[in-house]
Amino acid sequence: MSRTARAFWVGSPGEGEIRESELSAPAPGEVVVRALYSGVSRGTEALVFRGGVPPSQRQVMRAPFQEGDFDTAFKYGYLNVGVVEEGAPDLVGATVFALFPHQTRFVLPAAAVRPVPDGVPPERAVLAGTVETAVNALWDAPPLLGDRLTVVGAGMVGCAVARLASRVPGVRVQLVDVDPSRAEVAERLGVEFALPPDAGGERDRVFHTSASAAGLEHSLELVRAEGEVVEMSWYGDRRIDVPLGEHFHSRRLTVRAAQVGMVSPARRSSRGYGDRLDLALELLADPAFDALVTGESPFEELPRVMPRLADGSLPSLCHRIVYPEP
């Protein structure tokens, strides 16, 4: 069996390449995984690829199995689905999800991979990390029966939040984005769509995921008095202006952060990272999530595809990478 692997590396901001390396044999308690698919989470990975991680956040922004540092060459990514080829007997042959960068084969502790449920296609399972982020946000700020919710920003995370929140009985969700083409995605997700000028107001809660100052300002305009804006955007090294004048204080608005790096305090005493990821994989039995995969490329094309994803010339939500047969 081949002991080599090919991985996508960022050599310098805006430039990537595929490098080959030798794999070590799995130690006791480890598995060898052959990749089937990985996903490019366009918002975060484009920012990282462009070199937009500030020095103060480099440790926080490291991917779980990142190799290299942001100020040198590194490999980055966290949406990988593959088949276990060697290792723990109860996992050999199983399709698993791992928070691993774009690489053809890799060795991990068996505890770091999560089996993909039978009802979830491997090509959809690449969305597990995104749905996990949405799960954590909805643990942070759970919808109540009959709530009127808005999600500002129809990217991967925003769409996942909208779909999950819409499954709560009586909850009405509106997805807001500046791109009118996202109306089709919203329809497939079963939620209402609006361009910013047409968005409904007096919302009980607004989830902001657009990573723009304009989106955050609009979120504060849409929420009702004493309502809450849940800020899920990652801005990297950009500074933004937050409009805390005008009616912010008189309407007693709240802005709170939600971030996937730690399990929500609401569930931290009873759920771990593995439990949260298992739930995300279970939720991906819903075929509506296929709407989040908007493009696909072979692994060998990733050095040419990533710059186009980063500069927006290749529009995408999740861009799926397909790995060659052994």
- pLDDT tens-digit series, residues 105-139: 999 999 999 999 999 999 999 999 999 999 999 99
- Please name the fold of domain 4-127+284-322: Quinone Oxidoreductase; Chain A, domain 1 (3.90.180)
Confidence of residue 244 (pLDDT cuts 50, 70, 90): confident
290 vs 59: which has the higher pLDDT? 290
Q: With respect to CATH, is domain 131-257 assigned 3.40.50.720?
A: yes
Return the CA Rg of the chain.
20
Would the CATH topology of 4-127+284-322 be identical to that of 131-257? Answer: no
Beta bridge partners of 206: 150, 229
Q: What is the pLDDT of residue 42?
A: 79
Q: What is the pLDDT of residue 115?
A: 97
The mean pLDDT value for 234-242 works out to 77
The mean pLDDT value for 217-246 works out to 88
- pLDDT tens-digit series, residues 49-64: 999 888 888 887 898 9
Instruction: Tokens 């819903």: give the residue.
Output: 286
Q: What percent of the chain clears pLDDT 90, i.e. is strictly above it? A: 81
Confidence of residue 1 (pLDDT cuts 50, 70, 90): low
Confidence of residue 242 (pLDDT cuts 50, 70, 90): confident
Confidence of residue 217 (pLDDT cuts 50, 70, 90): very high
Q: What is the pLDDT of residue 96?
A: 98
For the chain, the domains span 4-127+284-322, 131-257
Q: What is the pLDDT of residue 146?
A: 96
Question: Given a cut of 80, is residue 237 above it in pLDDT?
Answer: no
The mean pLDDT value for 62-87 works out to 94
Does the predicted TM-score (pTM) go above 0.85? Answer: yes
Q: H/E/C letters for each residue in 4-56?
A: EEEEEEEEECCEEEEEEEECCCCCCCEEEEEEEEEEEEHHHHHHHHCCCCCHH
